[in-house]
Amino acid sequence: MMQWIYTELGFFGSILFSLFIFALFILWLAGVAGIVGMESQRHRDLKLVASICLPVFPILWILWDIRRHRRIIQGLES
């Protein structure tokens, strides 16, 4: 598969593609860790199962959580 990516995208394209996949993996792990570390027990187990079955869910969750925290911080500064 890596050879196919290299022949289709070239050297720099395959490097960028690999870094993109690596970043998605890191975001997925961070999202799962954030869901597991939630203080409230409400829906945590359901979110954990969803994050394992649907790998996009923890990435979207962590982006939503970053946005939520940004709004909280902006509200405190005003």
Nearest to 65 by CA among 23, 35, 28: 35
Q: Across residues 6-24, what is the average pLDDT?
A: 93
pLDDT in tens, 21-73: 999 999 999 989 888 887 777 788 888 888 889 989 999 989 999 999 999 99
Length of the chain: 78
Residue 78 pLDDT: 60
Q: Across residues 13-22, what is the average pLDDT?
A: 94
Residue 42 pLDDT: 78
**Burial letters 7-19, b for 16+ CB under 10 A, else e:** eeeeeeebeeeee
Compute how many other C-beta atoms are within 10 angstroms of the C-beta atom of residue 56: 12
> pTM of the full predicted structure?
0.74
